[in-house]
Amino acid sequence: MVLCLGISNLHHVKKYIVLTVLFVLPLVVYLFFASGINHFAKLPVVTNTVVDIAAFSGEKFKGNITIVGFLGLDVSQQKGNALNLNQKIYKRFQEFEDFQFLMVQPKGTEGSCQQLVEELSRSTQVDTTGWKFVFLDLVQIQLIFDRLNTPLVLDETHGSPYVFIIDKDGALRGRDDNDNVGYDARSVADIHNNMVDDVKVILAEYRLALKKYNADRKI
């Protein structure tokens, strides 16, 4: 009799645990995304004239949420910026589906980029396969950067400390109140206070769109 009561109580406990997970987990996810300043407001589309990297390589912007950057010829000069991004952004969001980092690089920097990835992996102990690189001619790199249509320019090494968010439609996203549109990887404050929030917003946007799509299919 006591054994039966014990088994019955165990079943009740398991039931309550399952119900708690079902109700609490969605709330935790909601709070994660809602913690951003913009909450569920869409991150503004800044430029629709972005050239998809697929025009020059096997990688692509469309269908992915991409953090795109330009490390330039002197990759070692940008190592600190890459470490900031890896720690604050990549490590935090790399497990989300269709999220990627993509660095647009001059041909000839393949070895330096490989060394950088190895160092990034050692520094955070995370899988860095989401760090992708394409190696292009300088003219192609300039075209891609110019078509972002920002007031920023590439430096003499064809690099920039700024990174940008490209959405799944291949459009540049950013803040209306940010004259540069991009995020300064030299500034931990800019990454932590602005970029983290904006990545949360755009991930939440697509997550909600997927939920709506699935709900509409059930009607």
State how many domains the chain has: 2
Looking at the domain assignment, is residue 40 inside a domain?
A: no
**pLDDT score recorded for residue 38:** 43
Could you give the dihedral angle defined by the CA atoms of residues 12, 17, 23 and 29, in that order, rounded to the nearest 10 degrees? 180
- pLDDT of residue 70 exceeding 50, the answer is yes
pLDDT band at 180 (very low <50, low <70, confident <90, very high): low
Pair (22, 102) in one structural domain: no
Pair (129, 151) in one structural domain: yes
Cβ–Cβ < 8 Å for 101, 132:
yes
pLDDT band at 39 (very low <50, low <70, confident <90, very high): very low
Looking at the domain assignment, is residue 83 inside a domain?
A: yes
Pair (136, 211) in one structural domain: yes
Mean pLDDT (the chain) is 84
Pair (30, 49) in one structural domain: no
Domain limits for position 6: 2-34
- pLDDT of residue 165 exceeding 70, the answer is yes
**pLDDT score recorded for residue 36:** 45
Pair (10, 95) in one structural domain: no
Cβ–Cβ < 8 Å for 62, 52:
yes
- The end-to-end CA distance of the chain, in Å, is 48
**pLDDT score recorded for residue 181:** 84
**pLDDT score recorded for residue 1:** 53
